[in-house]
């Protein structure tokens, strides 16, 4: 590594080579599990699992509900790699560290990234427990100049100025919605705009009202940097937010949120999310070359 924050191509390669020499799985799909959503990895068959502390170059998870384990395996015959725990900037990681695994996945041969998160809703029509298919995002940190792509561009991954106008794959969104129909769960499925803020504090009422007026449907403290990096290196992206709470927009009522409540709601929808992600991956058009 060059400096504390600068990660060079060889750093990603070193981690990718280590993983390739420790598992025979050759994933085409990567799944990032949000807060309390680590059970998505439980559906993987023929697992090879690595604590982040064993993987050279990998950051460590510090947040409750993020186990800190990388799991390789098969979902209905499709080879996947699953992050049981992601990295957030508020933990003290640089944005390039929070997105480090995404570029490693690219070097492993991953073509599609599935991101999941726990989020608070701003949209009045959303209920706690709803699943939101992410249509687009607002990267508040990115707009303010905090972008994982800052610094010298690594042309081996992608261009200096990547477009971001069609990041969340339309076909995968439609496929997910159709799956929700066949699963009979459309009454709690939404499609909307996710906004990433820095955290770790939850929103003030004034901030919540601002985000609401900006057209944000759900807010969280992750996902956008991973998606920007994945899109930069040409990956197809699909995202789901689980609505774990309603963001308080009134000075007179509303329940203040806490992380324990977020984890509780995650448990509530774990089975549905697991089935949805499993079916989606199984229907994806991917070239499943095994080593």
Ligand X SMILES: Nc1nc2[nH]cnc2c(=O)[nH]1
Which one-letter DSSP state was computed for residue 204? P
Active-site position among 41, 83, 89, 91: 91
| CA dist., res. 200 & res. 26, Å (int) | 35
Q: How far is the CB of 81 from ligand R1P (least distance, A)?
A: 17
Could you say which of 15, 84, 98, 222 contacts ligand R1P (CB under 6 A)? 222
Lookup: tokens for 162: 């990547």
Residue 204: partners with Cβ closer than 8 Å, 6 or more residues away: none
**Rg of the Cα trace of the chain?**
18
Q: Is 139 in the site for ligand R1P (CB under 6 A)?
A: no
Q: Is 88 in the site for ligand R1P (CB under 6 A)?
A: yes
Residue 172 or 197 having the CB closest to ligand R1P: 197
Q: Is 262 in the site for ligand X (CB under 6 A)?
A: yes
In the chain the first and final C-alpha atoms are separated, in Å, by: 29
Q: If contact means CB under 5 to 8 A according to the sort of partner, which of ligand X, ligand R1P, none does residue 185 touch?
A: none
| CA dist., res. 33 & res. 41, Å (int) | 8
Q: Is 118 in the site for ligand R1P (CB under 6 A)?
A: yes
52 belongs to the catalytic site = no
2 belongs to the catalytic site = no
Chain-centre distance for alpha carbon 275:
17
| CA dist., res. 113 & res. 200, Å (int) | 25
Q: Is 99 in the site for ligand R1P (CB under 6 A)?
A: no
Could you say which of 27, 101, 220, 239 contacts ligand R1P (CB under 6 A)? 220
Q: If contact means CB under 5 to 8 A according to the sort of partner, which of ligand R1P, ligand X, none does residue 120 touch?
A: ligand X
Q: If contact means CB under 5 to 8 A according to the sort of partner, which of ligand X, ligand R1P, none does residue 86 touch?
A: ligand R1P
Candidates 291, 227, 167; CA nearest to 32 is 227
182 belongs to the catalytic site = no
Residue 35 marked in a binding site: yes
Q: If contact means CB under 5 to 8 A according to the sort of partner, which of ligand R1P, ligand X, none does residue 197 touch?
A: ligand X
222 belongs to the catalytic site = yes
Number of other residues whose CB lies within 10 A of the CB of residue 3: 6
Residue 224 marked in a binding site: no
Number of other residues whose CB lies within 10 A of the CB of residue 20: 15
Residue 231 marked in a binding site: no
Residue 63 or 67 having the CB closest to ligand R1P: 63
Could you say which of 75, 89, 219, 277 contacts ligand X (CB under 6 A)? 219
Contact 223, 115 (CB under 8 A): yes
| CA dist., res. 194 & res. 188, Å (int) | 17
**Ramachandran angles phi, psi of 38, nearest 5°:** -60, -20
Number of other residues whose CB lies within 10 A of the CB of residue 130: 22
Q: How far is the CB of 21 from ligand R1P (least distance, A)?
A: 29
Q: Is 272 exposed, middle or buried (0-12, 13-18, 19+ CB in 10 A)?
A: middle
Q: If contact means CB under 5 to 8 A according to the sort of partner, which of ligand X, ligand R1P, none does residue 72 touch?
A: none
For ligand X, the binding residues (CB under 6 A) are 118-120, 197, 199, 202-203, 219-221, 244-245, 247, 257, 262
Catalytic residues: 35, 66, 88, 90-91, 118, 221-222, 245, 259
Residues in binding site: 35, 66, 86-88, 118, 203, 222, 245
Residues in binding site for a purine D-ribonucleoside: 203, 245
């Amino acid at each position: 590594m060059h400096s504390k924050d600068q990660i060079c191509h060889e750093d990603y390669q070193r981690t990718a080579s280590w993983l390739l020499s420790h598992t025979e799985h050759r994933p085409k799909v990567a799944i990032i599990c949000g807060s309390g959503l680590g059970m998505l990895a439980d559906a993987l068959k023929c697992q090879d699992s690595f604590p982040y502390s064993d993987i050279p170059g990998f950051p460590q998870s510090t947040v409750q509900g993020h186990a800190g384990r990388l799991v390789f395996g098969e979902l209905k015959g499709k080879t996947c790699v699953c992050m049981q725990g992601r990295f957030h900037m508020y933990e003290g990681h640089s944005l390039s560290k929070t997105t480090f695994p995404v570029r490693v996945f690219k070097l492993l041969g991953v073509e599609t990234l599935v991101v999941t998160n726990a989020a608070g809703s701003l949209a009045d029509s959303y209920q706690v427990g709803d699943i939101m298919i992410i249509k687009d995002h607002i990267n508040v940190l990115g707009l303010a100049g905090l972008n994982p792509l800052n610094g010298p561009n690594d042309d081996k991954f992608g261009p200096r100025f990547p477009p971001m106008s069609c990041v969340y794959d339309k076909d995968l969104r439609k496929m997910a919605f159709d799956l929700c129909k066949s699963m009979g769960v459309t009454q709690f499925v939404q499609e909307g705009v996710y906004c990433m803020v820095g955290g770790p504090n939850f929103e003030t009422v004034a901030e919540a009202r601002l985000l609401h007026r900006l057209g944000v449907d759900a807010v969280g403290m992750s996902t956008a940097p991973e998606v920007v990096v994945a899109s930069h290196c040409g990956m197809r992206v699909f995202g789901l937010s689980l609505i774990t709470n309603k963001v308080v927009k009134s000075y007179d009522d509303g329940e203040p949120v806490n992380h324990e409540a977020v984890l509780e709601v995650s448990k509530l929808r774990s089975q549905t999310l697991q089935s949805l992600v499993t079916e989606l991956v199984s229907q994806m058009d991917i070239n499943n070359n095994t080593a």
